[in-house]
Chains A and B, each alone.
Chain A
Amino acid sequence: MAILEVNHIQKSFGGTAVLKDISFSLEKGQVLSIIGSSGSGKTTLLRCLNFLETAESGTIRVNGKTLFDGENHKQLSDGEIRKNRLHFGLVFQSFNLFPQYTVLENVMLAPKLMKKAPAAQLEQRALQLIEKVGLSNRVNNYPCQLSGGQQQRVAIARALALEPDILCFDEPTSALDPELTGEVLRVIRGLKNADRTIIIVTHEMEFARSISDRVIFMADGVIEEEGTPEQVFGNPQSAKTRQFLSSSLEHF
């Protein structure tokens, strides 16, 4: 059974439709990349999944449980929305670490507030996650003492600390200098090997091609093309996809 089922999601901003009837599903342990030009709706889609935006209609189901239903969403309490969104983790383009906390405190803050486990246990788990993203020697540093790539790796550890079913990345390397993207992409690849379910919105075409199990190409708020990386990158059916790919790959 699919871990994630998204059906007929619609969203508009001030009369402009940004997402027009988006449906897709994802199997547990799969990596899905969403590609497309700026303004195609990919980031909005990710934000709808994390309830940072509220879709106008459609449903979102995780593990068969309906987390969002456009029909009755307004009746949900803040607490229920908060609980529902914990099925998803989100890593932002601009990291959004909490500047006044150390690396360890950033990773531990949310689990501690949620009292997920005794503090000592949470700290141990946080240290493990920090080690996994390769920053054990930076545990007590503040975000301003880290490079962008290191900050993004902390953000990944912070998202993992809540053990989300699905981890979302919103252009995780777009704010990084080119020489720093590699370290972040390596961490994401490590997560795939650990069987995490992942959705990535990205402009890194080579990376999307090599890491993904499925690829969605979005254009003008609709899913223009969907399939395996071989299908979408190797043999695109839609003219829009072909045009996008050829102009994206010109950069290389």
Chain B
Amino acid sequence: METFLQQFPIVFQALNVGFLQTLRLFGVTLLGAIPLGLIIMFGSMSRFKPLSVLTNLFVWVIRGTPLMIQLLIIYYFPGLVLHVTFWAKGESGRFAASAVAFIINYACYFSEIYRGGIQSIPVGQWEAGQVLGMTRGQIFFRVILLQVVKRIVPPMGNEIITLVKDTALARIIALQEIIWAGTAFLKGSQGISGQVWPLFFTAIYYLVFSGILTLLLGWVEKKMDYFRG
């Protein structure tokens, strides 16, 4: 017990640093993937056939292969195969590679959610805008978009909560996120080794954070309760 009390502050401090990196990857992924998903969606719904075929092929590959493999390829391919240094040395390079892999991966999932949301809006909404002389852009941004947002909040919430935990995959390229920080005390770090409890303890961070997100998403859903559509 005494050793636990001595170890706890050290472990807590290290896990906090790791969790900060987890949060950073989470935030950057959302910031990048939400708009990129929109671009991918426009590509996959394009009436220009080559573009839509190519985009759908890309989405299929990304969704059809493990994110872990994508991380490995994005991080190691430039150096091992092309023999160029693309990513900076150390943690900053690992973070950049992780962010790119996560943004691309999640944007593909988001694009499919967006597409489903848009296609679920009754065609009558488009037609009503058209007979009122509105342009396609005006109809999309003034009429369709908010209805789509309302409809996609639940599935997006699902993906966002999954993302919280998926960030742990970045450990495969040694990103120093919270799982990496927990494992360190198994191997030995700061005078503590062979301890498994720090790794188990990381679960509490995930749990608390996804709890906060769940409340936030519920609040957003409630905010849009004023209309039905």
Which residues does A use to contact B, with CB under 8 Å? Answer: 50-52, 78, 82-83, 85-86, 88-90, 92, 94, 96-100, 109-110, 113-114, 142-144, 158-159, 162
Contacts and interface: CB of A to CB of B under 8 A. Distances in A.
B127 interface: yes
Interface size class of B (residues with CB under 8 A): 20 to 34
21 contacts: A50-B131, A78-B136, A85-B131, A92-B124, A94-B122, A94-B124, A96-B122, A96-B125, A96-B128, A99-B228, A99-B229, A100-B147, A100-B150, A100-B229, A109-B134, A109-B143, A110-B133, A113-B138, A114-B133, A143-B228, A143-B229
Question: Which of A113, A114, A162 counts the most chain B CB atoms within 10 A?
Answer: A113
Given A92-B124, A96-B125, A52 B130 contact: yes
Contacts of A98: 125, 128, 143
B226 interface: yes
B227 A88 contact: no
B227 A99 contact: yes
A142 B142 contact: no
Q: Is the interface of B mostly helix, strand, loop or mixed?
A: helix
A142 B147 CA distance: 14
A89 B127 CA distance: 12
A85 B132 CA distance: 8
A97 B143 CA distance: 10
A88 B147 contact: no
B226 A142 contact: yes
Contacts of A92: 124, 127-128
A110 B127 contact: no
A89 B128 CA distance: 10
B119 interface: no
A60 to B, nearest CB: 15
B228 A110 contact: no
Contacts of B130: 51-52, 85
B146 interface: yes
Given A100-B147, A113-B142, A78 B135 contact: yes
A162 B129 CA distance: 12
